Amino acid sequence: MEQTSLRPRSKRMTSVDLPFLVAVLLLLAIGLATLYSAGFAKALQETGNSYHYILRQGAFALVGLVGMIVISFFPYKLYKKIAVPFYGVCMVLLVAVLLLSKDTERRWLYLGGFQFQPSEFAKVAVILFLALYLSNEKLRVRKFWKGIVIPSCIFGLCAGLVGIEPHLSGAILIAGVGLVMIVAAGANVMQMLPIGIAAVIGGVALYLSKEYMQLRVATWLNPELDPSNAGYQALQSFYAIGSGGLTGVGFGESRQKYLYLPEPQNDFIFSVFCEEMGWIAAVVVLGLFAFVVVRGLYIATKAPDKFSSLIVVGIITRLAVQTLFNVAVVSGAFPVTGISLPFFSYGGTALIVLLGEMGIVLQISRYADIERDPPPKLSRRKEGGEEEISDIPTEKTNRKRKPIEKRG
């Protein structure tokens, strides 16, 4: 009697995009190792425990990884329900920071023994809200008012509150992500010119009204003008990168991290990496970042609908712009400003939120129409051997089949 053996295809929901996941985990592992090396001298000076930063960051990474795994199983359509209230809560928290924070820069909120940065959650809230708004089928995204002005107000409110803290680089990051999402949604780019011109005029006016900004730009163009003050950070970063050469001075052997380079565990951690591991390793790490960005955008193009696609575009744009900003600052291609390097810089809120965002991308990749390994073949067993008959059945062909009748 003939038998038909069927091996059912695994549901798409059970599989995340493995290349993206592996690249993210590699960046996280390299980042933790770099933080251990770059931060132990600073940690010893500030806390008396050279393992302070790495122990805390390791705990944050563990929480973030658990969150990433859990989030990767959430149905992405859930974000449609929480996008608006989540955005509202984050805006309230940003206002609370301005009113209640005791720090000079007013970026942190303290609840009991915990502290966190509401701006990190606000970046995700803007992405979700914009994705929800711009994916509305009734929205005429190519209309100036509905397609550009209203979404610009959505991210502009958040960017404005973050800029008041003051956190200028964070505000620029939010605005950049918002503009990219508007373009990705299909807005008329030519209609964005008035807003772009207004932004340039406003930026020039702000620059002319703030003496510290003029000084920062002047020292960016020529750090030697004030080597012991305004130009100190940039010069020490250049010394670190230049000392590394092609192959570096060796892991743990950096000299600039011994209280010469400000914030070696945070904004300037990539300078220490270049010094210890060399330029070749730096290019490899930047290649990993590039792979995550390209793979993420590929997932966005294969996403099941416009809403999920825009979410991935927003998250990946945020990662790409922030990475470029940080590398540009430490290498002197951009004025010194406070912006961290994803996966590397010390910071619990930032790392947990970042890994949560990676979980969202992985969750959407479960539904993305990405080419997987070729499915196994169906076979029909006969007494005289095995005969191939077809591929694994689709949903239509996987219905109950009639038993094969043996003739005569």
Question: 65-79, 195-209, 232-246, 357-371: which range is least confident on average?
Answer: 195-209
The DSSP line for 95-159 is: HHHHHH--SSS---EEETTEEE-HHHHHHHHHHHHHHHHHT-TT--TTSHIIIIIHHHHHHHHHH
Amino acid identity of 66?
A: V
Instruction: Tell me the per-residue pLDDT of 89-110, one tens digit each, with 9 for 90 and over.
Output: 999 999 988 887 666 666 778 7
Does the pLDDT value for residue 78 go beyond 80? yes
Q: Distance (Å, rounded) from C-alpha 184 to C-alpha 292?
A: 19
Helix (H) or strand (E) holding 176: helix 168-184
The least confident of 132-141, 265-274, 360-369, 378-387 is: 378-387
Place of tokens 């069927």: 6
What is the Cα–Cα distance from 224 to 182, expressed in whole angstroms?
A: 41
Greater pLDDT, 389 or 53: 53
Radius of gyration of the chain (CA): 25
**In contact, 126 and 133? CB cutoff 8 Å:** no
State the pLDDT confidence band at 26, using cuts at 50, 70 and 90: very high
Encoded tokens for 267: 């904004």
pLDDT, residue 174, reads 93
Arithmetic mean of pLDDT, 56-61: 95
Lowest mean pLDDT among 135-144, 185-194, 214-223, 339-348: 135-144
Say if residue 297's pLDDT is above 90.
yes
Least confident of 37-51, 158-172, 299-313, 362-376: 362-376
Average pLDDT over residues 189-205: 82
CA-angle at 109, arms to 271 and 152, nearest 5°? 75
**Cβ atoms of 304 and 367 closer than 8 Å:** yes
**Residue 2: φ, ψ to 5°:** -80, 145
Which H helix or E strand runs over 361?
Answer: helix 348-367
- Specify which residues 109 forms β-bridges with: 116
* Pairing between β-strand 385-391 and β-strand 3-5 as defined by DSSP bridges: unpaired
- Continuous segment of H or E residues that includes residue 162: helix 150-164
Residue 123 has pLDDT above 90, yes or no: yes
The pLDDT value given to residue 403: 52
Burial-class residue 399 by CB neighbours within 10 Å (0-12, 13-18, 19+).
Answer: exposed
Q: What does 56-102 look like in DSSP terms, one character per residue?
A: HHHHHHHHHHHHHHHHTTS-TTHHHHHHHHHHHHHHHHHHHHHHH--
Question: Count of CB atoms within 10 A of residue 43's CB?
Answer: 22
- At 396, is the secondary structure helix, strand, or coil? coil
**Whole-angstrom Cα distance, residue 65 to residue 274?**
27
Backbone angles phi, psi at 253, to 5 degrees: -100, 10
- How many CB atoms neighbour CB 280 within 10 A? 12
Helix (H, G, I), strand (E, B) or coil at 196: helix
Q: Tell me the C-alpha distance between 202 and 179, whole Å.
A: 17
Grade residue 329 by pLDDT with cuts at 50, 70 and 90: very high
Angle at 172 between CA 271 and CA 103, to 5 degrees: 75
Once rounded to an integer, what is the mean pLDDT over residues 180-200? 85
Residue 379 pLDDT more than 70? no
Residue with tokens 């900004």: 213
Please give the mean pLDDT across all residues of the chain: 84
